[in-house]
């Protein structure tokens, strides 16, 4: 890595030298200098400077702070400069006419980072269409498609804790960058000298027409696209539904409540304490609606009002959480796999007369088999892709061009799904709308969503899905994760005599690019998959247990968890 120091250049050979450079170089502001001057922990200094913040297929994400391995305005400028150069190389003059869409969520500093992104693009001659207020990730994807942009960026760290922020880059279809494109961006980012990045003054950008702000008109167009997905149940059935919703201090409040109100769901309350946008997420440990603890306030409020369902969305409103009241008045919290299985059952029933011979659903290699079993029972084919919604979006793009298949539903286990063709990312707004429709419909039939899930199990067998995430921070943590992966590959089928087959997705195929995923299928029909997170210092273990009942499945899960824990404990 080459870094300029005013008149001369130095070669950064170790983290200490890089740290000293950032601490004194006048390019970095006094706030940065002051923050770095207070550091005394050598491990902290090493973690901040032992590498550059990584940009990959999921974009960039990290703890906010000063340093090469931290998320800050300087790294935002560096990444944006590389992305701008990539867009100019790929689209030429068209990049300077079609421009780029930019959005941000409610996280601390998100608006500042988004503006830095926009003004960096403007300095490169690429017009920036910047949302004037916080909005969900799917609204960014929508704007790229509506405006015909060459790309998009949203500043968000999704469901991560308050210390994090991130940078997600999109292509001209509104889909997150595919690995080949992400690699090309990385190559451009690596060429950028962070001290020579340039941003345009905001007033200059506005006066030259390079910077424009997106507002309510784009929001209204997005809301209309969502409403077009409803299945037309009667107004009285909608009005009879009682629901409680929380945005978890995020960006989902306005579009989600707007859609539900305009469609006639008048019995929806919100959690007032969690409606205020706040990047500190003061009422939760982590703003992930897939965690029951994050949904505790909305579930308690749902109980107090006797609501049929409790709903939540994460800060950038692409993921959803759901709990439902059963016939005894207790509330059951559902996993992402369970939510999507119920949605598939409902959608394929509601749209039975509209399904086509080439209709399909899309899912990922670490998602439960239950949704696939339901889809196949209705005669649909199932396309399985790698983890990450970009792979679903890319396949949607291909089918849109070829007409080979019609996509009815796309989803992944991590509480995200897409219904419709308006975006190329998971979308909590359309998911919440469809969950409300589903719950209202089944309520009119005398059923709760708990009843619906049990009916599904009776038809397709019992599925227990589980995710274990092991967090290993810093340089030592990255080495630990690498060692776990290496050990599992070394063990292979000797991990257990019950293993039927293994697939190492690091070996790419014609249908899938290489990905660091190991998947083990067992003789009993269950599987587990191992995948290092692309955005967090974690290694994730996914389990799909298919067994006779909950008790048998729980025992089966514990036995398979022990296989992995023994490997981790041995290192």
Q: Which residues are catalytic?
A: 158
- Do the beta carbons of residue 143 and residue 129 sit within 8 Å? yes
- Do the beta carbons of residue 288 and residue 294 sit within 8 Å? yes
Alpha-carbon distance of 373 to 448, in angstroms, equals 22
- Do the beta carbons of residue 224 and residue 141 sit within 8 Å? no
Alpha-carbon distance of 285 to 348, in angstroms, equals 37
Largest CA distance in the chain: 77
CA 80 to chain CA centroid, Å, is 20
- Do the beta carbons of residue 48 and residue 69 sit within 8 Å? yes
Alpha-carbon distance of 555 to 547, in angstroms, equals 10
Axis-axis angle for helices 336-350, 370-377 (nearest 10)? 10
With CA atoms as reference, report the closest residue to 519 among 536, 510, 511, 507: 507
With CA atoms as reference, report the closest residue to 40 among 57, 53, 59, 23: 23
SS3 210: coil
CA 100 to chain CA centroid, Å, is 20
Alpha-carbon distance of 93 to 257, in angstroms, equals 40
Alpha-carbon distance of 393 to 391, in angstroms, equals 5
Alpha-carbon distance of 24 to 33, in angstroms, equals 7
With CA atoms as reference, report the closest residue to 490 among 479, 498, 502, 478: 502
- Do the beta carbons of residue 289 and residue 248 sit within 8 Å? yes
- Do the beta carbons of residue 118 and residue 130 sit within 8 Å? yes
Q: Which residues contact 264 (CB under 8 A, 6 or more apart)?
A: 235, 238, 239
- Do the beta carbons of residue 163 and residue 456 sit within 8 Å? no
**How many C-beta atoms lie closer than 10 Å to residue 190's C-beta?**
12
Q: Which residues contact 280 (CB under 8 A, 6 or more apart)?
A: 108, 162, 249
Which position has the token pair 């205020």? 276
- Do the beta carbons of residue 99 and residue 129 sit within 8 Å? yes
């Amino acid at each position: 890595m080459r870094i300029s120091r005013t008149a001369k250049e130095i070669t950064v050979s170790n983290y200490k030298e890089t740290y000293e450079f950032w601490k004194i170089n006048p390019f970095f502001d006094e706030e940065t200098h002051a923050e770095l001057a207070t550091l005394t922990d050598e491990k902290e200094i090493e973690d901040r400077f032992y590498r550059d913040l990584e940009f990959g297929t999921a974009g960039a994400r990290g703890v906010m702070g000063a340093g090469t391995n931290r998320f800050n305005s300087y790294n935002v400028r560096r990444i944006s400069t590389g992305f701008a150069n990539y867009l100019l190389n790929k689209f030429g003059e068209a990049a300077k006419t079609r421009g780029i869409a930019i959005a941000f969520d409610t996280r601390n500093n998100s608006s500042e980072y988004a503006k830095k992104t926009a003004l960096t693009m403007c300095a490169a001659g690429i017009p920036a269409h910047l949302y004037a207020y916080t909005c969900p990730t799917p609204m960014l994807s929508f704007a790229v498609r509506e405006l015909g942009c060459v790309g998009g960026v949203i500043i968000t760290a999704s469901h991560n804790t308050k210390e994090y922020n991130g940078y997600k880059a999109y292509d001209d279809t509104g889909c997150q960058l595919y690995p080949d494109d992400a690699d090309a961006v990385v190559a451009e980012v690596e060429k950028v000298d962070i001290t020579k990045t340039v941003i345009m003054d905001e007033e200059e950008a506005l006066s030259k027409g390079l910077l424009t702000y997106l507002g309510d008109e784009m929001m209204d167009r997005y809301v209309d696209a969502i409403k077009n997905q409803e299945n037309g149940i009667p107004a009285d059935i909608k009005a009879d539904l009682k629901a409680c919703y929380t945005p978890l201090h995020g960006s989902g409040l306005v579009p989600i409540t707007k859609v539900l109100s305009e469609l006639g769901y008048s019995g929806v309350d919100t959690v007032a304490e969690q409606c205020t946008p706040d990047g500190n997420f003061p009422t939760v440990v982590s703003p992930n609606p897939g965690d029951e603890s994050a949904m505790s306030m909305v579930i308690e409020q749902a109980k107090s009002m006797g609501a049929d369902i409790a709903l939540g969305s994460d800060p950038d409103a692409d993921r959803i959480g759901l709990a439902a009241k059963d016939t005894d008045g207790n509330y059951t919290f559902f996993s992402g796999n369970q939510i999507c299985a119920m949605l598939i059952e409902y959608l394929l029933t509601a749209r039975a007369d509209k399904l086509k011979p080439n209709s399909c659903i899309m899912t990922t290699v670490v998602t439960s088999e239950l949704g696939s079993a339901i889809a196949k029972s209705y005669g649909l084919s199932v396309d399985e892709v790698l983890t990450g919604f970009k792979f679903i979006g890319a396949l949607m793009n291909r089918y849109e061009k070829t007409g080979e298949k019609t996509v009815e539903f796309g989803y992944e286990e991590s509480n995200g799904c897409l219904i419709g063709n308006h975006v190329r990312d998971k979308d909590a707004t359309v998911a919440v709308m469809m969950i409300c429709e589903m719950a209202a419909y089944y309520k009119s039939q005398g059923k709760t969503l708990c009843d619906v899930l049990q009916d599904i199990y009776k038809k397709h067998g019992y599925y227990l899905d589980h995710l274990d995430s092991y967090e290993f921070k810093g340089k030592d943590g990255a080495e630990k994760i690498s060692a776990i992966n290496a050990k599992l590959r070394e063990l292979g089928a000797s991990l257990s005599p019950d293993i039927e087959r293994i697939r190492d997705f690091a070996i790419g195929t014609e249908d899938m690019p290489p990905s660091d995923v190991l998947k083990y299928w067992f003789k009993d029909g269950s599987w587990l998959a191992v995948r290092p997170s692309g955005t967090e210092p974690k290694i994730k273990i996914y389990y799909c247990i298919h067994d006779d009942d909950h008790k048998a499945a729980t025992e089966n899960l514990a036995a398979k968890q022990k296989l992995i824990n023994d490997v981790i404990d041995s290192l």
